[in-house]
Amino acid sequence: MELKIIDERDISKLRGDALVVGAYEGNRFTEMAKAVDVVMGRLLTALAKDLDFKAKLGDTIYIPSHGKKLKVKNVILVGLGKKKKLDEDGIRKAIFSSLKKAKEIRARDIFFEPLGEGVLGGRCTKAMAEGALLGDYEFRKYKKDNEKIDIESVSILADKSREGLLKLGKVLGEVTNFTRDIVNEPGNAITPNELARIAKELSKEYGFECTVYGLEEIIKNKMNGILAVGQGSKNPPTFTHIAYRPEGAKSKVVIIGKGITFDSGGLNIKPERSMKTMKCDKSGACAVLGIMRAIGEIRPEVEVHGLMPCAENMPSGEAFRPDDIITFANGKSVEIHSTDAEGRLILADALIYGSRIRPDIMIDMATLTGACVVALGSYTTGLFSNDDNLARDLLNLSIKTGEKMWRLPLDEDLRDEIKGDYSDIKNVGSRYGGAITAGLFLKEFVGKDIRSWAHLDIAGPAFLEKPWKYYAKGATGVPVRTVVELILNLNVG
């Protein structure tokens, strides 16, 4: 899909398959919708009345123009909901709905007025680019026959001064879809070594430093969590460090992503229903790749380190066992009470490593606990942090990006739940407060001098079992856009 800005407000000069204009609830047409309505002899008003069009957010109707005074073939009217409540995520939903209607009428070249410009100003352009790319996404790599109708071009009728915002929206949409592609790949295609290969290829493209630790280096560096989780698989584990170090960096950020390329549960094997989508357990590591790609495109004055601990959790005669005790590089010993609580073990190694980089901010992202999904549902990330300011910034940004987050407490009263009988700690607590005890476990491996750390439990929103908002079934790329926006804010802070 080609996304572009056309500095043209004279609708009579447009030639294409469709023009999309907006209306707020109460059928309060935008100025461009009013102009179209006048040219069409009030047919848009009549159609909205006849179809009882309420202009709720995402509602759409269309009418052929018949090529008289208007040369575009069709006009699509999209609802923008209540004007006072319209936000950037509403714009994403509106453009997604508009493109869905455009596909129904087999339109390929589409013009858009800058939806919500009167409320959001130039920010609407960025949100429209994101919504178009995210909403048009499908993972079709392995489908031989697929009659998907491709939108060829989306042109936004706006001032050329918005080009920068359009470019940023395109980058955020494209890197999110890049992330989704890797998450959606099955376990036989994406192994720990393959994730490392993608990281090296990405680093070569953007001039990043890239270090990949294989089995020998993992043992040498006492990354015993990664070693234990990966030892049951014929596909060896890896640990990858991508580094972007611009001159004059204003701050330093470490991002960490859980990279379990397939999670069978290990010897505590999952039931069939729970195992079916476990290709998604690498979503955190894939998010690291997506974020680093955005950093390569935007090149902020912020030093960014991406860490990917990767393993495949499989049962075999060499797999780690319940009751095993692992000692980590920081001296902490952990008793294994469930081999299906493996993500926190590989993250522990990465948190120790990341703390040694001495970042200003450290963020880990992981499809970590079913308990978080029980607590918050399928669409909301659980946010844990030792820094109120970082938590506030992430929550505020998540509202703008539409990547919903909710802060959960690192409740010290639950620490006894992970106190070990024969070790310092154990890798699971009781069935109650499981997302919190997982966060407390990770905190044990965050360096004492790291004052700004956040753990994002993306077990719900990283991979959807049915379409939601502008996302197709499958990977969403959460929380790539929110973390990139946080880094960009540090660039100007």
CA-CA distance, 460 to 159, in Å (whole number)?
39
Catalytic residue among 126, 344, 404, 426: 344
Tell me the per-residue pLDDT of 456-484, one tens digit each, with 9 for 90 and over: 999 999 999 999 999 999 999 999 999 99
Tell me the per-residue pLDDT of 221-243, one tens digit each, with 9 for 90 and over: 999 999 999 999 999 999 999 99
Tell me the per-residue pLDDT of 284-308, one tens digit each, with 9 for 90 and over: 999 999 999 999 999 999 999 999 9
What does DSSP assign to residue 491?
Answer: H
What per-residue confidence (pLDDT) applies to 413? 97
User: How, if at all, do strands 209-213 and 238-244 pair?
Assistant: antiparallel
What per-residue confidence (pLDDT) applies to 297? 98
Tell me the per-residue pLDDT of 25-54, one tens digit each, with 9 for 90 and over: 988 999 999 999 999 999 999 999 999 999
Residue range 392-396: mean pLDDT, rounded: 98
User: What is the crossing angle of helices 88-104 and 123-135, to 10°?
Assistant: 50
What per-residue confidence (pLDDT) applies to 293? 98
Tell me the per-residue pLDDT of 322-331, one tens digit each, with 9 for 90 and over: 999 999 999 9
What does DSSP assign to residue 165?
Answer: H
Contacting residues for 63 by C-beta, under 8 A, at least 6 apart = 40, 43, 44, 47, 74, 75, 77
Per-residue confidence at 91, pLDDT binned at 50, 70, 90? very high
Tell me the per-residue pLDDT of 420-436, one tens digit each, with 9 for 90 and over: 999 999 999 998 999 99
Q: Could you give the percent of the chain with pLDDT greater than 70?
A: 99
What per-residue confidence (pLDDT) applies to 66? 77
What per-residue confidence (pLDDT) applies to 149? 73
Tell me the per-residue pLDDT of 434-445, one tens digit each, with 9 for 90 and over: 999 999 999 999
Per-residue confidence at 455, pLDDT binned at 50, 70, 90? very high
Q: Could you give the percent of the chain with pLDDT greater than 90?
A: 95
Per-residue confidence at 493, pLDDT binned at 50, 70, 90? low
What per-residue confidence (pLDDT) applies to 309? 99
Q: How many CB atoms lie within 10 A of CB 347?
A: 29
Active site residue 356: no
Query: Where do the domains of the chain lie, and which CATH numbers do they carry?
Result: 2-157 (3.40.220.10), 172-492 (3.40.630.10)
Tell me the per-residue pLDDT of 311-346, one tens digit each, with 9 for 90 and over: 999 999 999 999 999 999 999 999 999 999 999 999
What per-residue confidence (pLDDT) applies to 150? 84
Strands (E), 292-397: 303-313, 325-327, 333-335, 361-366, 381-385
- State which amino acid sits at residue 15: R
Residue 426, H or E segment: strand 425-426
Q: Which three-class secondary structure state does DSSP give residue 106?
A: coil
Tell me the per-residue pLDDT of 105-163, one tens digit each, with 9 for 90 and over: 999 999 999 999 999 999 999 999 999 999 999 999 998 876 667 899 999 999 999 99
What per-residue confidence (pLDDT) applies to 144? 80
What per-residue confidence (pLDDT) applies to 55? 97
Encode 266-289: b = buried (16+ Cβ within 10 Å), e = exposed: bbbbeeeeeeeebbbbbbbbbbbb
Residue range 168-193: mean pLDDT, rounded: 98
Catalytic residue among 270, 415, 451, 473: 270
What per-residue confidence (pLDDT) applies to 288? 98
What per-residue confidence (pLDDT) applies to 431? 87
Active site residue 13: no
Output the pTM of the full model.
0.97
CA-CA distance, 204 to 182, in Å (whole number)?
18
Residue range 80-96: mean pLDDT, rounded: 97
Residue range 260-268: mean pLDDT, rounded: 98
Average pLDDT, the chain: 96
Per-residue confidence at 10, pLDDT binned at 50, 70, 90? confident
One-character DSSP codes across 14-54: --SSEEEEEEETTTEE-HHHHHHHHHTTTHHHHHHHHTT--
Q: Which of 8-12, 143-147, 188-192, 257-261 has the lowest mean pLDDT?
A: 143-147
What per-residue confidence (pLDDT) applies to 146? 62
